[in-house]
Amino acid sequence: QQRGPGSGGGAGASGGTGSDGGTEAGAGSGADSAPAAPVAGLDAETLDQSAETLRTLLDDAVTEAERRLFALRTAAQDDARILGALGDGGLLPPGPDVLATVEYLGEHGIPALPGWRYLAQSVDPAEHNRVLAARPELVDGVVITDPGTHRRAREVLAEAALLPRSTVAVGTASALLAPAPRNAETEESVFLVPPNPAMHDEHAADEERQQLRARATAREEEIRTLAARLGKDRELGARLGSWRSGCPAGRLGELAAAAAEARTAAAEAAAVLEEARARRADTEETASAA
């Protein structure tokens, strides 16, 4: 009889994916789990009878693991992008056009700050969302901190020819903090994409970084575990396929029948041989007596 592939330490057909993203134990095994006793203890006849079912289960397990790995790696890339956008710490700098405008106003004695920096330094964090919703263009623009220089700032910038490649709004702090118009919310009103917290709230940005790093660490461990399990499932699937190629369905039955016939023939031959030996012994005894 041919030796089945189940006697090794390969993985079985593992179960589905839980709500937290982890794979269930099922009948599978990988680098982190021992093979189930029924898989390790399969004899050739049982394996022959269950081979097609096992191959189907393994194929399903491999497909599910590949899908899960793709989802995990895609999520890891997304989190890495967000983590990169949040920076290493502190607040992120405003855009170059805003910085150039603030610098130019400062050179002409007009005190100004990037809107993001003014929001972070001078506005209660509880008010950030309201201000962002009401004056997003000014938050992403320039705030003149001395209202008396507003007209002069307009004249200076009109003559500066800074030629920014983005729209740079300039206004006073009171304009930034003014309440939004009452009829601002309509079904088709302009809305704001949630901004990077590292632009205006250092504490929120730090919390987001910590959560992302913790999530990335846990996800990386899950990816390693699942990749190892997937490798074992693929290996066992290949061994099972190779075994089935060398031992097609029904072949074991033919071999068993042939073995039974051979045993019967051997028993019959042994009986004939024993009878012949008995006759020879009788003949020799008779000859000796004569």
Residue tagged 């050179």 (tokens): 107
Chain-centre distance of CA 159, in angstroms? 53
Q: For 175-198, what is the mean pLDDT?
A: 79
Two structure tokens written together for 246: 């060398």
Judge whether residue 57 has pLDDT over 80.
Answer: yes
The pLDDT score that the predictor gives to residue 259 is 86
Average confidence score pLDDT of the chain: 82
The pLDDT score that the predictor gives to residue 2 is 46
For 16-54, letters b (16+ CB in 10 Å) and e give ebeeeeebeeebbbbeebebeeebeebebeebbeebeeb
**Is residue 115 within 8 Å of 147, Cβ to Cβ?**
no
Q: For 138-148, what is the mean pLDDT?
A: 95
Judge whether residue 281 has pLDDT over 60.
Answer: yes
Q: Locate the domains of the chain by residue range.
A: 5-87+213-247, 96-195, 250-290
What are 208-234's pLDDT values in tens digits?
889 999 999 999 999 999 999 999 999
Going by pLDDT thresholds of 50, 70 and 90, the confidence category of residue 163 is very high
The pLDDT score that the predictor gives to residue 32 is 41
Going by pLDDT thresholds of 50, 70 and 90, the confidence category of residue 40 is low
Question: Which of 171, 193, 180, 212 shows the shortest CA–CA distance to 80?
Answer: 212
The pLDDT score that the predictor gives to residue 15 is 41
Judge whether residue 37 has pLDDT over 50.
Answer: no
Q: For 138-160, what is the mean pLDDT?
A: 95
What are 85-136's pLDDT values in tens digits?
888 877 888 999 999 999 999 999 999 999 999 999 999 999 999 999 899 9
* Rounded alpha-carbon distances, angstroms, from residue 9 to 15, 155, 251, 285: 18, 79, 25, 62
The pLDDT score that the predictor gives to residue 226 is 96
Question: How much of the chain exceeds pLDDT 90, in percent?
Answer: 46
Q: For 24-35, what is the mean pLDDT?
A: 39
Q: For 56-74, what is the mean pLDDT?
A: 94
Distance (Å, whole) CA 90 – CA 115: 16
The pLDDT score that the predictor gives to residue 90 is 79
Q: What angle do CA 78, 79, 85 make, to 5 degrees?
A: 95
Residue, of 289 and 34, whose pLDDT is higher: 289
What are 197-213's pLDDT values in tens digits?
889 988 888 888 899 99
Beta strands 170-172 and 142-144, pairing class: parallel
pTM of the model: 0.55
Straight-line distance from the first to the last Cα atom of the chain, in angstroms, rounded to the nearest whole number: 54
Two structure tokens written together for 258: 């042939």
Residue, of 267 and 256, whose pLDDT is higher: 267
Residue tagged 């982190």 (tokens): 32
Looking at mean pLDDT, say which of 47-51, 114-118, 242-246 comes out highest. Answer: 114-118
Distance (Å, whole) CA 245 – CA 223: 33
The pLDDT score that the predictor gives to residue 24 is 39
Give the residues across from 144 on adjacent strands. 112, 172
Two structure tokens written together for 242: 């190779």
Report the interhelical angle of 150-160 vs 96-107 (nearest 10°): 110
